Every structure is written in C-alpha cells, then in structure tokens.
Structure 1
Amino acid sequence: MKTSWYKEPWAWFVFILPATAVVAGIATYFIANHNPDPLVVGDYYKKGKAINLEVSKVKLAQKLGMRFALKLVNNELVIKPTGIDKVFPVLNLNFYHPTLAERDFYLALTADGNGYFRHTFDEPVKGKWRLTITPFENHWKIQNTITLPQSEFIDIIPNVREAN
C-alpha cells in the first residue's frame, strides 16, 4: 500500500533543507542592507591623502616636543602640558570609541590658572579610546590609544604609528 508523500519523514527532510537556506539568505540580505558598516570608507584615495597630511602633523608635534600628561579620576579629566613651556589658548580633544561611532565626543578645553586643562563629565567615561589632541590652529596633532579611567598621569606623546 502506498502512503502519501507528505506522510513520509524523508520527504519533509529533503524540502526543509533548501527552505532553510532560502530563509537564511533573505535574513542575511535584510541584515546587510539595514545595518551597514559605518567604518567602511567610500573614497579611499582621498582618505589616504588625508592620512599623509595627518602623519606630517604628528611629525611636526614630535619636532616641536609636544607632550602631555592625562589623568581621569572621579569623572574629572586633567591634562597638563609636559613638553614645552608654551601657553595654549584652546586644546581640541577628540575621543573616538574603537567600535561604536555614536559614543565619540569632542571637547574644546581652555587652560586654568596652572596651565592645566580640565573637564568634569556628568557620567563615567570608561574603556578603550583613541584620543586626538590638536591646538586651536590645528597645525600639529597627537594621537594615542588610551584606557580610561586613569588614576595616575599617563604620557600622551606624538607617535607616527598611532596616526595611521
């Protein structure tokens, strides 16, 4: 006696495998198109030229002897110049999160009476960050990868390898 095809378990097994592949393909398509990778650069040539310009800014910072020390304790950020005896009207600080672009932030700090640059955060800042320090004129640049918070001062020095 013959049984109907839909009563055979092997028939369902054969149909479910391709159906699963189709559903997974559709899901992958929607994930790829609705959550694009923000780290991909569209115009890589212009980006490469900009990297060369950034490297020259880091080399200028090295030549000028620019150095800073950074500390973050109890949500208070303190940055003090340690390289040259020069007064900076404004320091631009960019904090870049390694994976989440929406967590990036920017600070423009002026010096206090001691020549230190200070900022108090409303919420704790923790984890690994790529820090960029530039002057108001933006002619030199220091970029380092740091981990926050820091209870002791850490050196922030120009490093060409960090600029890439």
Structure 2
Amino acid sequence: MSLSDPQVPPWYKQFWPWFLIALLLSSVTFSMVYLAFSIRYFDGSVPDDYYKEGLAINVQLEKQQRAEALGLAAELRIDATTGDVVVTLDGDERPQRLDLALKFPTDGARDRALVLTHTRAGHYVGTLERNLRYRWYLQLQPHAEGASGQPEWRLTGEAKFPRETSVRLTPGL
C-alpha cells in the first residue's frame, strides 16, 4: 500500500479565500454607500451655535407661558385643494399679522414660513404655494415688528397632512 499525497487545488479554486474576499469587499462597498448617503443627505442636527440655542430655550418657555397666561389657542385649517390657510385665534390678543412656521421633522430644507393677515374677529388667512404631505410641526406667533423684533407669545402643534379636520394649536412645547 502506498500513501499518496492528495492533490491540493490552487487557492483560487477553493471556497474559503473567495468567501473572505467577498466579505471584505461587501464591507468596503456598504461603507462607501453609507458615506455617500451621509454626505448627500446631511441633516445638520447639531447647529454651530448650539450653546446660544440652549440658552434661548428659556425665551421659548417664556413665550409659551405668556400665551397660556393670555388664554390663547388657535384652530388651523389647510385646504388640500387650494392651499388656503385659515387660522382662528381664541383669546383677547389680535395682532394684525401672524407668522406660521411649518417645520418638517427630518429635513430643514423643507421648512416653510407663512405670514397670515387678519381679516376679521380673530380670523387670519394666507396661502401655501404647495400642498403639504406627511407630518409637520407647527408654530404660530405674532409677526415680529418694532424695536425688539421678538414675538411675545407662541402656540405650537403637530399634524399629518393632508387632513380634513382642523389642527388645534396650544401653548405647549
């Protein structure tokens, strides 16, 4: 009986080297794809002046408390067909114009701002250029005029559009 050495095939004909190479290549490929997405869709989640914005939270809380003290609340309705925005403001304060900020949760480039004009007894109107879709954060405050340039109060809310019913804006965070 003779023992012969089995023939070992060359490395490129074996399974494990190709498996390890494929594993490494897939890791590099996915890393490059994620890098490209992170550069292309940068969300800017940490602003450059985050310290100043952190200090400004007290100002925002004061605006909310002022709105609550005034007994302010609002009903917002957006017509999905025409883009007309109608706000009915409850409370004693009736500024001539209101600022409505529509903030998209994940993409600051989609944020919108709209100035609403007073028409009669607490009713304000404006028009959006494009219809809204998905979920939005809403902020309503008097139009900043005068030397201070800071509104006295703010109402907030959240809504998913398009919708048939109105959205209630209250003095909460």
- Structure-2-length-normalised TM-score: 0.77
How far apart are the structure 1 equivalents of 2:56 and 2:48?
Answer: 14
Radius of gyration: which is bigger? Answer: 2
Instruction: Give the superposition deviation at 1:91.
Output: 0.5
The answer on whether the counterparts of 1:71 and 1:149 sit within 8 Å (CA) in structure 2 is: no
1:57 aligns to 2:57 (yes or no):
no
Residue 153 of structure 2 corresponds to residue 146 of structure 1:
no
Amino acid at match of 1:82: D
TM-score by length of 1: 0.81
Give the AA of the match of 2:171: P
Residue number in structure 2 paired with 1:69 = 75
Give distance in 2, aligned partners of 1:38 and 1:3: 54
**Alignment counterpart, residue 140 of structure 2, candidates 107, 116, 133:** 133
Deviation, structure 1 residue 130: 0.9
* Structure 1: unaligned runs, 5 residues or longer: none
Tell me, yes or no, if the aligned pair for 2:117 and 2:126 is still in contact at 8 Å: no
Q: How does 1:73-112 map to 2 (within 5 A)?
A: 73=79, 74=81, 75-84=83-92, 86-112=93-119
Q: How does 1:111-130 map to 2 (within 5 A)?
A: 111-130=118-137
> CA separation in 2, counterparts of 1:154 and 1:31?
35
Name the residue aligned to 2:34.
Answer: 28
Q: What is the CA RMSD across the aligned residues, in angstroms?
A: 2.3
Letter in 1 for 2:74: F
C-alpha distance in 2 between matches for 1:40 and 1:128: 22
Aligned residues, how many? 159
**Distance in 1 separating the partners of 2:77 and 2:37:** 40
Question: Alignment partner for residue 19 of structure 1, among 18, 25, 30?
Answer: 25
Query: 1:114/1:60 Cα in 2 relative to 1: closer, same or farther (>3 Å)?
Result: closer
User: For the residues of structure 2 that align with 1:26 and 1:68, how far apart are their CA atoms?
Assistant: 48
Deviation for aligned residue 1:22: 2.9
| Larger RCO, structure (CA 8 Å, separation 6 or more) | 1
Identical positions, percent: 26
